[in-house]
Structure 1
Amino acid sequence: MQAFAQLLDRLSLEPRRLAKEALLVRYFSETPDPDRGYALAALTGGLTFKHAKPAMLRALISERTDPVLFGLSYDFVGDMSETIALMWPRPEDAGLTDAPSLSEIVERLSTSGKSEVPGQVAGWLDSLDDTGRWALLKLITGGLRVGVSARLAKTSIAKQGDLSVNQVEEVWHGLKPPYETLFAWVEGRAGPPETEDPAPFRPVMLAHPLDAEKDLQSLDAGTFAVEWKWDGIRVQAASGLAKSGPVKRLFSRTGDDISRAFPDVMDILDFNAAIDGELLIRGEDGVVRPFSDLQKRLNRKTAGPKLIKEYPAAIRVYDLLVLEGEDLRDRPFRERRQKLEVFVQELDHPGIDLSPMVEAASWDDIAAARSEPGTLLPQDDADAVEGLMLKRWDAPYVTGRPKGLWYKWKREPRLIDAVLMYAQRGHGKRSSFYSDYTFGVWRPAADGDELVPVGKAYFGFTDEELREIDRFVRKNTINRFGPVSEVAHGKDHGLVLEIAFEGLNRSTRHKSGVAMRFPRVSRLRWDKPAAEADWLETLETMLPSLEKAG
């Protein structure tokens, strides 16, 4: 456990990607099985412990320290694992030689009953130093936050041998911790892990953002297929036949199996293929519903009949990866598209439709379609478009983000000027700064104009701007609600933030009645009086036509 703790500690302090990769490569090469496999699972989000939850950890520390002191400390530090690790009263007679191994911790947490886990965790915390306690708590809560993506972890595994990260990802979803067959393969001690899964996840192909000033001068518009970029979530649907019968799965773009949450989609996967597309909510009239409707189906383990009826899910498909057992990914996009059109036509199901191509022969035509999709699509569908995808006609389907093959050209973000109303400290490296901001716009009220919150943002600003906002918050805090500081805001006083966002939907959960998609701070408007910030009616005019009609 100590080696894993030291790894997490060094990763959390190392900002450089290549240096993080080197730390991982060294750890996986020096650490024996099964500890390194469980470390890999922790870094890739592959570990969950049924009976070890944050509430249990709070109860343990409350039994050993003043709960009020813990609450104040947690508010200041901003990270529960770090707060408990620092406040834990380690017994004087505890020795570090009693510290458990990582595999022992994982295996016991996975097999112990609910009543046993608190005592086990307390005993481990007693036997570890500050860093070890912090790492243990991060392991339990699943919030490592050390700047390591799943792909970076897999890249470091591939570098244990002569493999590419794409090869590792191809077999990844047929494996389980502690991944001993994977390590044997990458180290050349065995062949590839065997899997007979007829519906595995195929790692997705990703696009580079288009730099209009540079790329439009160097790229030939005629070499690219142009598609709409839909405002849903990327999914992969796979179905095949195993010895035991049909196997169907719906994956997120990162390979998470979300099948149970979308039984209405699973019912229509009656084919032997793997398709790539966008998960959307569509009404009986075929109109794409706002993203806020899709959010009602996301992050749920299951979906009941009422939810399915009110928010029916569908796939708008744009690529065909496998057909009748034949892998098509090495074929050019033009050929895959032709096969896809035939596939969707023969499938003939309203729950899976074909994403239409954009008929545009020049960059001027493409730019016009991006700016005004309503000129080529029904307005309701145009509201669900967030930009364009450009795909080379001759491009194979390549895992990762290869250069020059796929580009995404999103529509310009919408902008409003809002007033900072509330602030909260961040987590991890930002725990000492007020970095989470709630902002509002003006609306008429019975006793005069008032600011009403319309969103939260916690990125988009530079480190220097973060320090400037933090100073403003500290000097202008007028009230506190637990960890939240109310910042002075009114017609004659307040900080105006220019907020960029991707979309807007009606929301009954927000006082303002609207909800933003991907809001971020675009710039600080020190020059603008708070009285000149935008009004709620300005946002309401931006609502999709379907929401306005409702």
Structure 2
Amino acid sequence: MLQFAELLDRLSLEPRRLAKEALLVRYLKQASDPDRGYAMAALTGDLSFKNAKPALLRALISERTDPRLFELSYDFVGDLSETIALMWPTDPDGEVGYAPALKEVVEALETATRSDLPGLIAGWLDALDETGRWALLKLIAGGLRVGVSARLAKTAIARLGGFQPDDVEEVWHGLTPPYVALFEWAEGRAGPPQTQDPAPFRPVMLAHPLDEEKDIATLEADTFAVEWKWDGIRVQAASGVDEDGQRVARLYSRTGDDISRAFPDVVERLSFNAALDGELLVIKDGLVRPFSDLQKRLNRKTAGPKLLKEYPAAIRAYDLLSWNGEDLRPLPFIERRGHLEAFLRELNDPKIELSPFVCVTSWDEIAGARRSPESHLARDDAVAVEGLMLKRRDAPYVPGRPKGQWFKWKRQPHLIDAVLMYAQRGHGKRSSFYSDYTFGVWRQNDGGHEELVPVGKAYFGFTDEELKEIDRFVRNNTVNRFGPVREVKHDQVTGLVFEVAFEGLNRSPRHKSGLAMRFPRISRIRWDKPPSQADRIESLKVLLNATVA
């Protein structure tokens, strides 16, 4: 556990990616199995403990210290694990006790009952020093926030074995913690891990945002096939037959999460021996429904008959990765497209349809299609488009985000001016700053008075220097507190105006304004604009009516 704690501590303080990679590789060389496997599982988000939750940690520290003091300290520090680690009472003259191995901690957390956990965790906290307590609490709460992505962790494993990160990606989803077979391969003690899964997840290929100045000036438009970028979620549909002759079908998110149970209406149609890459949408009566309809089915463990009937899901296919045991990914994109068209003709399923190419040949035509998809599509389809995908005709399908192969060119975002209403501390490096913002627009209440109503939240889009300026404004203009949230003064005269960019609007009865924004972010700070000149709710409703029938 101490090795793992030291690794997390060093990673949290190191901003450079290559230096983080070197720290990971050194740890993997020094740590033993299964500790290093569990460490990588924690860093990649593959560890969770159903009975160990943040509420339990709050209860533990409230028993050992004054609850009000804890709440004030948590508000100041901004990070639950760090606050508890610093406040946990220990004997200043006593010695640090036995530090458990990471293996002991993980396996105990996985098997302990809910009633056993408080004593178990308290015992570990008593035995560890501050850094060890912090690492333990991060492990339990999840979301380590030390600046290590799943890709970086896998890259470190690849460096350990002297092979490519894509090689690790290819086998990763067939493995479970603590990945002993993976490390045996990396250290040359065995061959690559083998899986007999007939419907495995294949790491997805991703696109770079198109640079409108640089890329358009240097790239030839006719080297790309152009597709619509639909406003759903990227999925992979895989199906095959196992050794016993049983059909195995799965629907994966782009990160490899199995979402099959939430979409049984899609999975029941996967009666082929192939793997498809496509977009999951709600399509009812031949019309693409807004993303808010798809959201009603996302993040659910199961879907009942009513949900299946009201929000039927379907796939618009982009690519064919394998077919009848043949791996098609090394082929050029345009050849895979030909196989995809033949496959879908043979399948003949209206719930799994081809995503059409955009018939354009020049940059002017591509820009026109991006600007006005309704000139190429029916209205409901056009509303469901969030931009274009440009794929080199000769590009193989490779994991990750290879440079210069695929580009995404999203439609211009919508912009409004909104007033900052509430602020909350961030996490990790931002734990000492108020960096999560709730903003609103004006409306007239039932009494005929002007009031601000919240319309969205955002925590990115600004620079580090701008963050410091906003944080200073929040501290100097706080009028109320609700736990870790500060209410900021906002009236017609005093307040901070943000220009907010967002992708679209949906109706939402859960929000006071009745609206929910898609992907809001801070576009710029309007120090030049008084709050009284911020936008009104009516302008958002006009936009909503124009985009959602």
With structure 2 as the length reference, what TM-score do the two structures score? 0.97
Q: Does 1:73 align with 2:73?
A: yes
* Counterpart in the other structure of 2:437: 437
Q: Is the CA contact (8 Å cut-off) linking 2:416 and 2:535 kept in structure 1? A: yes
Question: 1:355 & 1:194 partners in 2: Cα distance?
Answer: 33
1:60-99 equivalence runs, <5 A: 60-91=60-91, 95-96=95-96, 98-99=98-99
* Counterpart in the other structure of 1:529: 530
Of 416-425 and 486-495, more deviation after overlay is shown by 486-495
Question: 1:91 & 1:57 partners in 2: Cα distance?
Answer: 20
Find the residue that maps to 2:160 and give its secondary structure.
coil
Find the residue that maps to 2:188 and give its secondary structure.
coil
Q: CA deviation at 1:39?
A: 0.5
Q: Does 1:23 align with 2:23?
A: yes
**Can you list the C-alpha shifts for 1:119-172, whole angstroms capped at 9, x where unaligned?**
111111111000000100111111211111111000000001121111111111
Paired letter, 1:261? A
Q: Does 1:309 align with 2:309?
A: yes
Q: Is the CA contact (8 Å cut-off) linking 1:379 and 1:545 kept in structure 2? A: no
Q: Is the CA contact (8 Å cut-off) linking 1:505 and 1:544 kept in structure 2? A: no
Find the residue that maps to 1:159 and give its secondary structure.
helix
1:168-207 equivalence runs, <5 A: 168-207=168-207
Paired letter, 1:316? R
- For structure 1, the residue ranges without an aligned partner over 5 or more in a row are none
**Can you list the C-alpha shifts for 1:512-534, whole angstroms capped at 9, x where unaligned?**
11111111111111111211111
Q: CA deviation at 1:380?
A: 1.1
Find the residue that maps to 1:452 and give its secondary structure.
strand
Q: CA deviation at 1:232?
A: 0.9
Question: 2:450 & 2:107 partners in 1: Cα distance?
Answer: 59
**Can you list the C-alpha shifts for 1:252-272, whole angstroms capped at 9, x where unaligned?**
111111111211111111111
* Counterpart in the other structure of 1:261: 262
Q: Is the CA contact (8 Å cut-off) linking 1:423 and 1:434 kept in structure 2? A: yes
* Counterpart in the other structure of 1:105: 105
Q: CA deviation at 1:546?
A: 6.5
* Counterpart in the other structure of 2:211: 211
Find the residue that maps to 1:541 and give its secondary structure.
helix
Q: Is the CA contact (8 Å cut-off) linking 1:249 and 1:259 kept in structure 2? A: yes
Question: 2:412 & 2:545 partners in 1: Cα distance?
Answer: 16
Q: Does 1:539 align with 2:522?
A: no
Q: Is the CA contact (8 Å cut-off) linking 1:496 and 1:533 kept in structure 2? A: yes
Question: 1:433 & 1:455 partners in 2: Cα distance?
Answer: 19
1:41-440 equivalence runs, <5 A: 41-91=41-91, 95-96=95-96, 98-244=98-244, 245-283=246-284, 285-440=285-440
**Can you list the C-alpha shifts for 1:351-398, whole angstroms capped at 9, x where unaligned?**
211111100011110000000101111111111111100011111111
Question: 1:413 & 1:28 partners in 2: Cα distance?
Answer: 43
Question: 1:178 & 1:444 partners in 2: Cα distance?
Answer: 58
CA RMSD of aligned residues (A): 1.4
* Counterpart in the other structure of 2:457: 456
Q: CA deviation at 1:345?
A: 2.0
Of 159-168 and 71-80, more deviation after overlay is shown by 71-80
Q: CA deviation at 1:12?
A: 0.7
Pair 421,451 (structure 1): closer, same or farther in 2 beyond 3 Å: same
Find the residue that maps to 1:368 and give its secondary structure.
helix
Q: Is the CA contact (8 Å cut-off) linking 2:145 and 2:427 kept in structure 1? A: no
**Can you list the C-alpha shifts for 1:390-432, whole angstroms capped at 9, x where unaligned?**
0111111111111121111111111111111111222222222
Paired letter, 2:79? D
Question: 2:199 & 2:545 partners in 1: Cα distance?
Answer: 37
- For structure 2, the residue ranges without an aligned partner over 5 or more in a row are none
Of 247-256 and 94-103, more deviation after overlay is shown by 94-103
**Can you list the C-alpha shifts for 1:70-108, whole angstroms capped at 9, x where unaligned?**
112112211111111111112467643511000111111
Pair 92,532 (structure 1): closer, same or farther in 2 beyond 3 Å: closer
Question: 1:260 & 1:544 partners in 2: Cα distance?
Answer: 33
Of 300-309 and 322-331, more deviation after overlay is shown by 300-309
**Can you list the C-alpha shifts for 1:497-542, whole angstroms capped at 9, x where unaligned?**
1001111111111111111111111111111121111111111122
Pair 92,492 (structure 1): closer, same or farther in 2 beyond 3 Å: closer
With structure 1 as the length reference, what TM-score do the two structures score? 0.97
Find the residue that maps to 1:293 and give its secondary structure.
helix
**Can you list the C-alpha shifts for 1:160-198, whole angstroms capped at 9, x where unaligned?**
112111111111111111111100101111111121111
Q: Is the CA contact (8 Å cut-off) linking 1:206 and 1:399 kept in structure 2? A: yes
Paired letter, 2:315? I
Aligned length: 547
Question: 1:53 & 1:424 partners in 2: Cα distance?
Answer: 21
Q: Is the CA contact (8 Å cut-off) linking 2:74 and 2:484 kept in structure 1? A: no
Paired letter, 2:408? K
Q: CA deviation at 1:274?
A: 0.2
Of 21-30 and 251-260, more deviation after overlay is shown by 251-260
Q: CA deviation at 1:481?
A: 2.2
